[in-house]
Amino acid sequence: MQDLSSTEVYSLSILSVACIAILVNAWNSDGEPLFASLAISGAAFSFTYAVIRWTGDVFIKRGYKGKDLSKKSPVELPEAMGLISALVYLLAVVNFLPFAFKRDIVEATSGGGNKDRVLEAGMDDTGRFLHRFPLEKLASYGFAYGTLATTTILGILDDSFDMRWRHKFFIPAFAALPMLGLYFVDFGVTHVVVPLPLRPYLGELIDLGGFYYLYMAAVAIFCPNCINILAGVNGIEVGQSLVIALLLLLNDFLYVSPWMHQPHPATDSHLFSIYLLLPFVGVSLALLSHNWFPARVFVGDTYCYFAGMVFAVVGILGHFSKTLMLLFIPQIFNFLYSAPQLFKVVPCPRHRLPRFNARTGLLEPSVATFSEEKPLRPIVGEVLKVLHELRMLRVETNEKGRVTQCSNFTILNLWLVWRGPLREDRLATEILVMQTLCGLLGLWMRHSLALLLFSQDNRF
């Protein structure tokens, strides 16, 4: 497991050398942050790929391991390997720093160890098309880093101490504190634009005050947790995160592309987002190539929290958290659909991942069973039967019409109810395609239908 094949060594070396060459070039020509970010992301991919391979055995030895139950002959695989992705990501983000700000670096300083800020006039008018962002973003960058590092710490603790669900749920809120603190100190904007139909009653802007912080905390809790609960199939945690990241990048490029009307007030926020997302794509691709069916490593809660928090950070500090939510439609659906089991209205088994049928090699919906001793409340049973009629669930009843079992309430099981048994990679692929289509629809709504609700799209 731990050795790279010679083809892999060769490819990764070529990639790394190319990336380093681009970085050297970028440095000599004034930073060039966008190329530098791409190159650093490429290098991060190589490094993550190799380190995951090298350290897998160490993880197993220290007890971070698990069996893949959806295979004919389950072997022990290293668990929590998303930690490597998170660490390399943090390293990449730090190393990008000098490139991001090279043009803005203030060289004149006073002798006593204190800096004088030399503000260049017209700094904002030039260089916009070269995708640099100004020094004011530095604090955001630092706190984004701090938030993600804290998320990583708490992810490790979760993976090594097996926390209880009710503690785990709030982990991201703790990790998001640096970001919320920064938001409070540096932006402090708690006004939101009111949709047109409501303006006669509420005015054009409404100040949500403290509620806006609750909203941001909710986003920060929601993103990591909902990635964490849409899980259980090889590659699905990393795959869904990559889809979201790529769609966010697509949206960002709409704002920074040179053929758009420039300078645009939101350009800096979207550059910030691009620079945080590109290395995320790099480290996630490396992880996916080990976690895709048949998985050789598991990603762990660390990765899910970390990925979710990357999205929360770019959405909140980039001021497009509503757009972000449009890219989480399948996750939101999954969360709402899961709610009856999460809140124990319907009994919830320990694991709800699809059931592996060793005879066919395919995945089938897993089920919750309701015994004679602990039957469902009749009203709940009736609702489940209606859901069955609507093809939103598969229910089995006994001869008396009592519900004896139902498929578990996750989008993965529902998909299997709709599509019939599928091989694991087929299921993951279909879910990711569905997610991509939902996301594209969301972005389209954001940029066209939004004009019906708001008087202008901030893209123009």
Residues that bind a copy of itself (CB under 8 A): 58, 62-63, 87, 90-91, 94-95, 97-98, 100-101, 104-107, 109-115, 117, 135-136, 138-139, 141-143, 145-146, 149-150, 152-153, 156-157, 160-161, 174, 177-178, 181-182, 184-189, 191, 193, 205, 265-266, 268-269, 319-320, 458
Q: What is the distance between the alpha carbons of residues 71 and 74, in angstroms, rounded to a whole number?
A: 5
From the list 197, 195, 168, 290, the residue with the least C-alpha distance to 239 is 290
From the CB of 166, what's the least distance to a copy of itself, in Å?
16
From the CB of 301, what's the least distance to a copy of itself, in Å?
15
From the CB of 191, what's the least distance to a copy of itself, in Å?
7
Q: Do 426 and 292 contact (CB within 8 A), yes or no?
A: no
From the list 363, 360, 352, the residue with the least C-alpha distance to 425 is 363
H or E element that contains 101: helix 82-101
Smaller CB separation from a copy of itself, 87 or 384 = 87
| Residue 1, number of CB atoms within 10 A of its CB | 13
From the CB of 150, what's the least distance to a copy of itself, in Å?
5
Smaller CB separation from a copy of itself, 116 or 372 = 116
Residue 393 is classified by DSSP as: S
From the CB of 413, what's the least distance to a copy of itself, in Å?
33
Residue 119 is classified by DSSP as: P
Q: What is the distance between the alpha carbons of residues 64 and 182, in angstroms, rounded to a whole number?
A: 35
Smaller CB separation from a copy of itself, 89 or 370 = 89
378: preceding bond cis by omega (within 30 degrees): no
> Which spans in 327-423 are helix H?
329-342, 378-389, 411-419
Q: What is the distance between the alpha carbons of residues 147 and 10, in angstroms, rounded to a whole number?
A: 35
Smaller CB separation from a copy of itself, 62 or 67 = 62
Smaller CB separation from a copy of itself, 159 or 364 = 159
Residue 391 is classified by DSSP as: T
Smaller CB separation from a copy of itself, 91 or 348 = 91
Spatial neighbors of 156 by CB under 8 A, at least 6 apart, are 80, 83, 302
Nearest-5° angle of CA 361, CA 364, CA 365?
160
Smaller CB separation from a copy of itself, 321 or 334 = 321
From the CB of 324, what's the least distance to a copy of itself, in Å?
13
Distance of CA 132 to the CA centre of its chain: 25
Task: Identify the residue whose tokens are 């295979």.
Answer: 71
From the CB of 52, what's the least distance to a copy of itself, in Å?
15
From the CB of 394, what's the least distance to a copy of itself, in Å?
40
Smaller CB separation from a copy of itself, 272 or 293 = 272
Which pair of structure tokens corresponds to residue 220?
A: 């920060």
From the CB of 194, what's the least distance to a copy of itself, in Å?
11
Smaller CB separation from a copy of itself, 19 or 233 = 19
From the list 198, 424, 181, 199, the residue with the least C-alpha distance to 292 is 424
